[in-house]
Amino acid sequence: MPAAERRRQELSTELTTGKLTDTERAPKTRELRELVAGMATAGERQAMQDAPLEEHREVFGLTVPDERVMPKAWREEYETEYGGHESDFLLAARQHGLDSKLVGELRDTGIRMAIEAEGKPVSDEAWAATAKRFEGRLTKEQLTALRKWWRSNVERPA
């Protein structure tokens, strides 16, 4: 039996016994989701990469960002100009096994940060506040990767 399949079975058993606390359960669930995504066939991975934004949103139970995130009048421009960023983010979230609630919060936070930054680099203070908000829900490596992706894909040079 391949090591990945053995680990998948171990995690599945641990998660279904009911003996884990919520604090113990979260990282194991994330690991299981990431492991399952990594076990996808080449065709499944390609289909995931080629999926339209609506399909990525559906996986996480998300819809078009609402008025809590951005003014309704901006939705069409967001979909046209920035939907690709959201699609890339949701693909990475699927590949890393992030849960739906966390993904929705990260997406909405990212949109708000982009609006507040007005195309300029997000301040270190804003990043620190974001890191604190998601502390314990994202690993340090995930936060670092998210910030790096943001800097190279979302921010425009000042």
Question: Do 109 and 69 share a domain, yes or no?
Answer: yes
* Among the listed residues 109, 114, 106, 104, the one whose alpha carbon sits nearest the alpha carbon of residue 74: 114
Are 34 and 50 part of one and the same domain? Answer: no
Stretch (H or E) spanning 150: helix 140-153
Domain holding 23, by residue range, is 1-39
DSSP 155: P
Q: Is the pLDDT of residue 87 over 90?
A: yes
Whose CA is closest to 53, among 25, 75, 24?
A: 75
Lowest mean pLDDT among 29-38, 50-59, 80-89, 107-116: 29-38
| Mean per-residue pLDDT, 19-35 | 84
Q: Note the pLDDT of residue 52.
A: 93
At 156, the pLDDT band (50, 70, 90 cuts) reads low
Query: Which candidate, 93, 86, 97, places its Cα nearest to that of 11?
Result: 97
- 104 and 33 in a common domain: no
% of the chain with per-residue pLDDT over 70: 98
Sequence-ordered list of residues with C-beta below 8 angstroms from that of 136, at least 6 positions apart, any chain: 26
How many residues are recorded in the chain?
158
Q: Which of 98, 99, 92, 100 is nearest to 62 (CA)?
A: 100
pTM value > 0.85 = no
Structural domain count of the chain = 2
| pLDDT value of residue 19 | 85
pLDDT, position 157: 53
pLDDT value of position 67: 92
What's the rounded Cα separation, in Å, for the pair 119 and 122?
A: 9
124 and 91 inside one domain: yes
Residues 87 and 24 placed together within one structural domain of the fold: no
146 assigned to some structural domain: yes
> Over the stretch 52-75, which tens digit does the pLDDT of each residue have?
999 999 999 999 999 999 999 999
* Comparison of pLDDT for 57 and 138, the residue scoring more: 57
Helix (H, G, I), strand (E, B) or coil at 39: coil
